[in-house]
């Protein structure tokens, strides 16, 4: 359940990520933590891309990827508890 969902979110985030060299896109990943899943992009500038700066408009990719897959997660959970 969680691997399927997490893989879809990471794939969607990579599709949505702004690409110059491809480095940031290649650092997008997920990790399992005690209470769930942590999605991240470990390039030093991914936060600035996601949220923008005073001089640069936001180009979100992780937030929209999660939102895009919210209903899919709901379907997975419903199927698991049937």
pTM listed for this prediction: 0.91
Residue-by-residue DSSP string for 42-66: -STTHHHHHH--SSS-----HHHHH
Nearest partner of 14 among 41, 47, 37, judged by Cα = 41
For 43-71, what is each residue's pLDDT tens digit?
999 999 999 999 999 999 999 999 999 99
- The single residue listed with the structure tokens 């480095």 is 23
> What end-to-end distance do the CA atoms of the chain give, in Å?
14
Alpha-carbon distance of 77 to 51, in angstroms, equals 30
Angle of helix 2-16 relative to helix 70-80, nearest 10 degrees?
170
For 23-36, what is each residue's pLDDT tens digit?
999 999 999 999 89
Nearest partner of 72 among 23, 12, 20, 15, judged by Cα = 12
């Amino acid at each position: 359940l969680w691997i399927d969902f997490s893989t879809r979110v990471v794939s969607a985030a990579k599709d949505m990520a702004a690409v110059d060299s491809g480095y940031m896109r290649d650092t997008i990943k997920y990790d399992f933590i005690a209470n769930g899943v942590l999605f991240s992009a470990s390039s030093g500038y991914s936060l600035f891309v996601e949220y923008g700066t005073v001089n640069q408009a936001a180009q979100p990719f992780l937030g929209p990827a999660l939102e895009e897959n919210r209903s899919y997660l709901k379907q997975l959970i419903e199927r698991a508890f049937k």
